[in-house]
Amino acid sequence: MVLVVVAALLAWWLVPAGPPPLTRADVDQAVQNGLTKAQQDAAAAPADASIAYRTIGPSLVVVTSERPGPASVEGLLGTGVVVSAKGQVLTALHVVEGASRVQVTFADGTKSDAAVASAQPENDIAVLAVAQLPQVIVPAVLAGTPDVGEAVFAVGNPLGLQDSLSAGVVSALGRTITAPGGVTLTNLIQFDAAVNPGNSGGPLVNRAGQVVGIVTGLANPSDQDFFVGIGFAVPIATAAGGAGGPQQ
């Protein structure tokens, strides 16, 4: 009987005890460790603008057009974006309208003549058919209409500075403006990312680099052709209809 009791006591002594109860200090330390890791992960993550820029970059196109002027041939610079596996390019109609020659330069440097395949004058949108496509075609991903307050990025060639990005937010939806030439454009996205001549026809993208609109112009109350704080874009659901994409 004594041996049994001794064996039982030894067994109890040798069995590992359970974990000690958590203290308030333990909980506080675990919370702090979690916050520190979250901050480190956030600091290491690329910025929204960087993600958007890298995503849309392979789909960007430089658009140049030539048209007869009073004394010589006038050149106009704009931007476009590839929206289909066939290499169709969306741009603003006013960039290429009346042009005697249109050329595009893809992200990989491929240059080609292009022609207007279809147009929506009421929306200032043109679809370009390209004579020579690059070896790799990277169509942009299209997204729905953004919400007011959502971050957006305009990417294009302002003042000839190629592949430039500017950041802002959607300021309003459903805007109506009168474009140069007297055309009334309706249902536009208003945004405050900086745009200048050369941005026309370029994509307005969300944080994921998905196209939400095609830049068509800027507010111009003082008859200036540079950025004054307000830009406008045609919703991609409207613009993509000319390229056979879905309309919403």
Residues annotated as catalytic (active site), given as ranges: 94, 124, 200
> What is d(CA 198, CA 62) in angstroms, rounded to the nearest whole number?
9
**Range 14-23 burial, b when 16+ CB lie within 10 A, else e:** eeeeeeeeee
Q: Is 215 exposed, middle or buried (0-12, 13-18, 19+ CB in 10 A)?
A: buried
Q: Which two tokens stand for residue 76?
A: 């106009």
Hunting for tokens 């590839």 — which residue is that? Answer: 82
- Cross-strand pairs, 164: 156
SS3 119: strand
> What is d(CA 151, CA 193) in angstroms, rounded to the nearest whole number?
9
Distances (CA, A) of 4 to 10, 63, 180, 195: 10, 94, 102, 89
> What is d(CA 35, CA 72) in angstroms, rounded to the nearest whole number?
64
